Structures are given as C-alpha cells and as structure tokens.
Amino acid sequence: MQARPDLSIVIPAYNEAERLPRSLVRLANFLANADYSWEILVVSNGSNDGTEDVVRRTAVEMPALRLIVEPRRGKGLAVRRGIERSLGRVILLCDADLSMPPEHIPDFLTGLAHADVVIGSREAPGARRFDEPWHRHVMGRIFNLLVRRLAVPNVGDTQCGFKAFRREVADALARRQTIEGFGFDVELLYLTRKYGYLMKELPINWHFDAASRVRPGIDTFHMVRELITIRWHDLCGVYGPGRPALDPVPVAQTVPIIERAGR
C-alpha cells in the first residue's frame, strides 16, 4: 500500500508543455529540503500539445510526480479529479505557471493550524502583484465584486489559483462540487462558507504571466453564468441541507505537518 504523504500539490494543466517543466523543477528544488513528505499530481484536462509526454519524461527523474489524464476540458473538473486521486493529508491547489513563489508553501501549511481552508490572496494586506496590466486588474476586481455580492461576501480574492485544504475538508467539498469550469473556485469557497468551515486568506506575492489561459471576456461571461448556477443549485438543494459528515481523521495526522513547516 502506498504511503500517505503529508502534502499533495494538485496542478490542473491544459496545454502547458512549455510552462510546466520550469514550474515542476522549481517546485521539486524547493521541496527537496522540506521536512515533510510530498507528491505532485498534474491533471492534464484535454491537452493536445504534448503536456502529458512532458510530465512522463519529468517523472523519470521525479518519483513523487504523478500524471492524471482527463480527456474532457475544464479546470474545475481537473481539480476535482486531482483531489480524488491525491493521497496527501493536506492538498494544495497550484497553477501550472507557478505565479506564486513556492516559498509561500510553508505559510499555507502553518495557516492550516488555525483554519480548514487557506486561500492565497493578491488583495490581503501585505500581498504584492508584479507586472499585471492595469486592465486585467480592473477586470478581476469587477468580477470579485460580483462574487462578493452573489456568492462569497468579504473575501478579497476568490480566483487566485493557490488554495490549501485539510484532507477531510477537501474530500467533503469535492464530493459536492458541480462546476467544471473556471468558476469552481467560487463554488468551493461558497461550500466552505455554507458548511461552516473556517477559511482564512493568506497574502502572497504574485507574478502575472502573459501566457495565462484565462480569456478576458469569454471566460468572464462563463464565470458569471456559473455564479448564477451556484446560487440556483443551493436554492434547489443540490448541495444538501447542511454540513456534510466528515470521515474521522485523527488530528495527529495533520498537526505535525503544520508544526514542522512552521519552525
């Protein structure tokens, strides 16, 4: 039976053959000195540019790297598959471009000492953005305003691709996730609030990548539609009446990770 690692890093990837190798090497170099065990799962969701071959070649030198192939596109679907197949006691969602320095990873683990979910924030006090065009920032803030009005109030940044979950909480949320597109972030955080899990924002340094897969206008329209879908699903009882029962997980399985990472 495969040993359960302390940390699973889930990377959804669509046509990331160019950017992914650098990100994987950077992550592995940082984690090589970690005093906790880890794995990296790349979930290729409909890639056709050789992304999967890149991961397979990299895995030869990186045994803790695993590839999951999902033939259908959809970042939310890829994330759900990654959570389902991951083994870690803590799960960290990570964008393929690694726009956040991996040096923040211990901060997420430390944050889980006092929360069930820790989300990276580009808006929290102390956060810094680098090289982001003004129009992309304005678009993001407008969408966040809609999110706060319609779904998740008082959260400054729901769309940052870096989020950490305790194992049992990630499983409970993923089982009820319905959104397969970019709006999955909002749905997971909506469910976090609905079920009374404790969520905290973590200020991070974030570097804009001009090769981002987000398509201004088109994807924004789809995400607004998904916001409405989330509220409709809740109204119709799709998410269930209340907080789901969690599988019993001894505290000792998560706390030691956080204590070591926080030293």
Report the mean per-residue pLDDT for the chain.
85
| CATH number of the domain bearing residue 20 | 3.90.550.10
pLDDT at 88: 97
31: in domain: yes
> pTM of the full predicted structure?
0.85
Mean pLDDT for the stretch of residues 7-34:
95
pLDDT at 245: 61
211: in domain: yes
pLDDT at 238: 92
Task: Give the highest mean pLDDT range of 79-88, 157-166, 212-221.
Answer: 79-88
Which structural domain, as residue segments, surrounds residue 148? 7-261
Q: Which residue has the higher pLDDT, 39 or 151?
A: 39
Mean pLDDT for the stretch of residues 189-210:
90
pLDDT score of 66 more than 90: yes
128: in domain: yes
Q: How many domains does the chain have?
A: 1
1: in domain: no
Label each residue of the chain as H, E or C: CCCCCCEEEEEEECCCCCCHHHHHHHHHHHHCCCCCCEEEEEEEECCCCCHHHHHHHHHHHCCCEEEEEECCCCHHHHHHHHHHHCCCCEEEECCCCCCCCHHHHHHHHHHCCCCCEEEEECCCCCCEEECCCHHHHHHHHHHHHHHHHHCCCCCCCCCCCCEEEEHHHHHHHHHHCCCCCCCHHHHHHHHHHHCCCCEEEEECEEECCCCCCCCCCHHHHHHHHHHHHHHHHHHCCCCCCCCCCCCCCCHHHCHHHHHHHCC
pLDDT at 97: 92
pLDDT-based confidence at residue 225 (cuts at 50, 70, 90): confident
